[in-house]
Amino acid sequence: MARILPGAFLSILSGWAMSGATYAWDTPWLGLFAWVPAIVAQHAIWPRALQGVAMGLAWFSYLGINLVPKLMPEIGLWVWALPAAVGIVSAILEQQTVTRAQSDDYRSFWWQTAFAYTAVEMGRSFIPGVATWAAVGYSVIASPGWSLAASWIGIFGLSLGVWASNFALAHLLLIAYRRAPWHRSTGMAAVLVVAIAFGLLLVPSSAPPADRPTLRVAAIQPGFDLYEGEWNTRRLAGDDMSLSRDLMSLGFTYSREAVAQGARLIVWPEGFLRVIPQDHPEFKDKLENFARETGVTLAVGYAVETPAGRRNEVAMITPEADWLITGKAHPVPWAETGSVTRGQVASLALDGYRVGSMICFDADYTDTTRARAREGARLLAAPAHDWPAIGRARAVHLRARAAENRLPIVMADWMVGSAAVDARGRIIAHMPFYEKSPGVMIVDVPVGDGGVTPYANAGDIAGWLSICATIFFLLRSGRAQRRRPRPQTPS
């Protein structure tokens, strides 16, 4: 018990610290060593029979603190199943980690484990609804240096760097406490990785060039949700036409305020209308007339269940009455029945700059923003519909998507956290993240340069590299065990 209690404390501490660094605090330095207490506890404190529990507790703490408060309003108590399952599986798989590290004399411990942890992040990104949530690379996105690195290696490259820093630093501490032997090559490599990881924190923040053109963009935020109060009663009654009329009138009220402040593009939230506006002359005509009379472009979100399936789309409506429709690429599995128009993409030229769009959950995946960048977009409009618990987390994801592709994004949400992020991944304007508030966010957004970053060209190569490296290490380890001579039994 004398070893279990401090070991458990350090494991839980790691989960709490990495969780805060990922979403709650702008502390990129913390993410680079937050996992170290759990690693050291596993290798130097926990009893041999319980060494796997160290990482099981760390993962349970990390996911429990990180995801449960955010998903509880939508999923309920079942959300605890994820951190519990991950914790149990991790405890089982990690039980032999110390033994394997010792059998290799700690020669490849820290970098093999960094690849393995990143491979797991990459692998779970293919699970519907998980995407890049809780990727530890988000912990460093607030750093200008790491944000710059994102344009080369993406979120999984950042995660690989974060895991490498944590395990390399833990390796050096284990060496200091004589829990691992010193090997010149691996030791110096660990020092170099830690130096680079922390060195990126010293890269200064740089402002966009003074001659960088800007677009004045507005995001309207009603400050309420259709799933509460009188609005929910009307929604359940099924009178979508009447509901959409009132919502469109509210949208016009906020949009006139934006027009008065010189906005050229006005973004409405996801699913703001409950009808397909271009299919109903009443809505089509009013939206076109507003765009023509004011000279602005509207990005209007709407979501409707049709006989063919759910249409969750954003329509960009120009003063010339052009309708440019983009369908949601990644519907939320537990909240949406699908997206029959996924793959439908359109963009427009606004003041000479290509403007594209995506919708809410698309920002949690890496492919949608990357595709818009390859298509030449210089700014993205992103209607969204989040609940207050994830308002800030969504902004963190936007920062990463913008930094990866050097592509600014403006998100309009229903209740909280409407935000604008520049091409360097910096939040340049936002509404309150945790407090419901109505209003119009007006921001002059420096447009992207229209170039394609190395990451946008290469994709998630860091994640694939981690998967390949992990498979290689597993095969090599299995071959080495088969070649190991068996102990002779007396005749």
Q: Which two tokens stand for residue 448?
A: 């992207």
Q: Judging by DSSP bridges, how do beta strands 427-430 and 419-421 pair with one another?
A: antiparallel
Full DSSP string of 233-290: HHHHHT-HHHHHHHHHHHHHHHHHHHHHTT-SEEEPPTT-BSS-GGGSHHHHHHHHHH
pLDDT digits (tens, 9 = 90+) for 125-136: 998 888 999 999
Question: Backbone dihedral region of 37: left (phi > 0), alpha (psi from -120 to 50 degrees) or beta?
Answer: alpha
Full DSSP string of 27-46: -HHHHTTTTHHHHHHHHHTS
Helix (H, G, I), strand (E, B) or coil at 218: strand
pLDDT digits (tens, 9 = 90+) for 397-424: 999 999 999 999 999 999 999 999 999 9
Radius of gyration (C-alpha) of the chain in whole angstroms? 25
DSSP state of 200: G
Q: How far apart are the C-alpha atoms of 280 and 300, rounded to whole Å?
A: 15
pLDDT digits (tens, 9 = 90+) for 223-270: 998 888 888 888 888 889 999 999 999 999 999 999 999 999 999 999
Whole-number mean pLDDT of the chain? 92
At residue 216, the pLDDT reads 97
Residue 486 scores a pLDDT above 60: no
Distant-in-sequence, close-in-space partners of 298: CB < 8 Å, separation ≥ 6: 255, 266, 268, 287, 290, 291, 315, 316, 317
**Residue with the two structure tokens 């095969």:** 475
pLDDT digits (tens, 9 = 90+) for 162-203: 999 999 999 999 999 888 889 998 999 999 999 999 999 999
Confidence grade of residue 491 (pLDDT, cut at 50, 70, 90): very low
Nearest to 18 by CA among 45, 4, 37: 37
Q: Judging by DSSP bridges, how do beta strands 214-221 and 265-267 pair with one another?
A: parallel
CA distances from 138 to 133, 386, 426 (A): 9, 19, 13
Q: CA 411 from chain center: how many Å?
A: 14
Phi/psi of residue 463, each to 5°? -65, -45
Higher pLDDT among residues 486 and 336, named by residue: 336
Residue % of the chain over a pLDDT of 70: 97
Higher pLDDT among residues 227 and 344, named by residue: 344
Residue % of the chain over a pLDDT of 90: 76
What element of type H or E holds 96? none
DSSP state of 412: E
Helix (H, G, I), strand (E, B) or coil at 333: coil
Q: Quick one: average pLDDT of 362-390?
A: 95
**Do 387 and 415 touch, CB atoms closer than 8 A?**
yes
pLDDT digits (tens, 9 = 90+) for 9-24: 999 999 999 999 999 9
Residue 459, classified by CB atoms within 10 Å of its CB into exposed (0-12), middle (13-18) or buried (19+), is middle
pLDDT digits (tens, 9 = 90+) for 353-367: 999 999 999 999 999
At residue 177, the pLDDT reads 87
Where is average pLDDT lowest: 24-33, 174-183, 285-294? 174-183
Residue 288 scores a pLDDT above 80: yes
Phi/psi of residue 355, each to 5°? -120, 125
Residue 151 scores a pLDDT above 60: yes
Q: Quick one: average pLDDT of 330-340?
A: 89
Residue 280 scores a pLDDT above 70: yes
Question: Backbone dihedral region of 105: left (phi > 0), alpha (psi from -120 to 50 degrees) or beta?
Answer: left
Q: Quick one: average pLDDT of 207-234?
A: 88
* E strands, 143-223, in order: 214-221
pLDDT digits (tens, 9 = 90+) for 60-98: 999 998 888 877 777 777 778 888 999 999 999 998 888
Residue 284: CB atoms within 10 A of its CB come to 17
* E strands, 138-186, in order: none
